[in-house]
A = this chain, B = another copy of it.
Amino acid sequence: MNLRLKPLLAVALAVATVAAAGTAVAQQAPKPEQLIKWRQSAYQVLAWNTGRVKANVDGTYNKEDVIKASNTIAALANSGLGALFAPGTETGKGWHETTVKPELFTDKKAGEVAAAFNKEANELAKVAAVGDVAAVKAQLGKLQGTCKACHDDYRKKD
């Protein structure tokens, strides 16, 4: 290789490397508005599926439908929803202005509330697989208790 081209090549490679790294960083750090939209969406999907379980235990019970709904709830609980509450998402608009209270980002108890939701969601998936209606109803109640606990403390009133 022409020796005088080497520095130029090194610069080109460095630029390409930085550009590639920049792309990766951009993909790994979506904008706050995007994160807020995703978390609002995730909670809608949770509402859809807890509603499905409730309709089953209150009406005609379909074991397969409850399993599908409960597995979706558990997968979302295990998905790492905390990443959607990254710094910078304390305020802002996704589908609508976030209703989260600032305390969620500072209160040490918030982690416990999230862990309780995770535990009860995974338990619901286990109970749903067995298919005992009374047990599913009781476990749904426990799960909804963790939803309410978080809403009471960390969601602004309408």
Contacts and interface: CB of A to CB of B under 8 A. Distances in A.
A49 interface: yes
Mostly helix, strand, loop or mixed at chain A's interface? helix
Task: Give the copy number.
Answer: 2
A91 interface: no
A141 interface: no
Interface in A24-48: 24-25, 27-28, 30, 37-38, 40-42, 44-45, 47-48
B80 A71 contact: no
A85 B152 CA distance: 33
Nearest to A56: B28
Interface string A17-28: 000000111011
Most buried by B among A68, A79, A84: A79
